[in-house]
Amino acid sequence: MAPDLSDAASETRKPNRFAQRLFRTAAEDELPLTIQHERIYILPSGRGMAFICVIAIMLMASINYGLNLGYALCFILIGLFAACLLATYKNLANISFLSVATNETFAGSNLQVTVRISEEANRYRSSIRLHNKHASTIVDAKPKAVTEAQLTIADLPRGRHAIGRLTLSSDFPLGLWRGWGYLHTPVNASIYPKPETPAAAFEGYSATAGGPAARRTGEQEFTGLKTYENSDSPSRVAWKQVASGAGWFSKQFEAEAEQQEIAIRWQDTPAHMGVEQRLSRMCAWVVRAKEENLAHTFELPGSQTLSLASGQQHYKACLLALANYQMNPADSAANHRTTPSNLNHG
């Protein structure tokens, strides 16, 4: 008789399901999510274990000496211990996670993780601790209100980082019990390279270039209006004409035709610099181009080349490419062969 492969497969999946149920190891939770009884785990804290030992000693002494008041005190304390168990559970039950978001940051700066929780049972929740492996914070949740908790994570290197499992815990009211629940969503944060300071001069220009980088519009002489295009900067829109109902137009400037198109490319960074230094220089160029509203192309080995553009969306696309860049071994070998030290030995 052939073995039942389906049963064998289910047996191999049981440990994974058990680990996910107990530890919430996989990022499978979807928001919004409410913490219910099946997600809450409660055990006596260190203070609770000491409390149990004291009650046990008191009970043995009462039995040994026949102390009726000792019995009464032990039973009262046992009732208090049980009541704290229920209070700790109710302090966590029915708290909802609404969203988990991160800010944009550069290497060397703090990453802020904002967690929005809500209380739907019309109870005040005290001393709710929210933490992951990097940071923790304690908040109080007001009845029927949304509460924001901020986790500050420092010293993360450049790259893409998973926020990981979030733990919601509490030892309210007396610290005799510790209850906790897990939330694990696929939320990631991209840490951009730290921009080089001071920013170096732009090195790359388009094929039509041949002079200094483009000057800002505010430094040019106004010559007339042209039909508005989606790529035009909001600062160039002729708002007076728009307000009067004449249509959408953009301001045109005398030196506009002489502006140079900038190319931000890996090959324009010095080959003798390290990978992170070269990324830092490119990041400084991207930030400077954004501040000066300069259109530019973007080229990075192993990633998609971005065509000539400007604006917030192009800015974020360039920074994400820098944050997620991984040096190809072939590119690393090529760079090593072209460094000045190798050329001097040739």
Domain ranges in the chain? 20-192, 193-214+259-346, 221-257
Strands (E) in 107-209, as ranges, are 111-119, 125-131, 136-141, 146-153, 159-162, 166-170, 177-183, 188-192
Q: What is the pLDDT of residues 328-343, one digit of tens each?
A: 655 554 454 444 433 3
* Amino acid 339: pLDDT: 41
CA distances, 101 to each of 20, 51, 138, 192 (Å): 23, 40, 18, 16
Low-confidence ranges of the chain (pLDDT < 50): 1-15, 207-219, 255-258, 333-334, 336-346
How many CB atoms within 10 Å of residue 292?
A: 14
Instruction: Return left, alpha or beta for 179; rule: phi > 0 is left, psi -120 to 50 is alpha, else beta.
Output: beta
DSSP single-letter state for residue 209: -
* Amino acid 136: pLDDT: 93
* Amino acid 22: pLDDT: 65
* Amino acid 199: pLDDT: 79
Q: What is the pLDDT of residues 272-311, one digit of tens each?
A: 999 999 999 999 999 988 888 888 899 998 877 888 888 8
For 115-141, letters b (16+ CB in 10 Å) and e give bbbbbeeebebeebbbbbebbeeebeb
Does the predicted model carry a pTM greater than 0.85? no
**Hey, what are 320's tokens?**
């994400």
Instruction: Tell me the C-alpha distance between 292 and 266, whole Å.
Output: 21
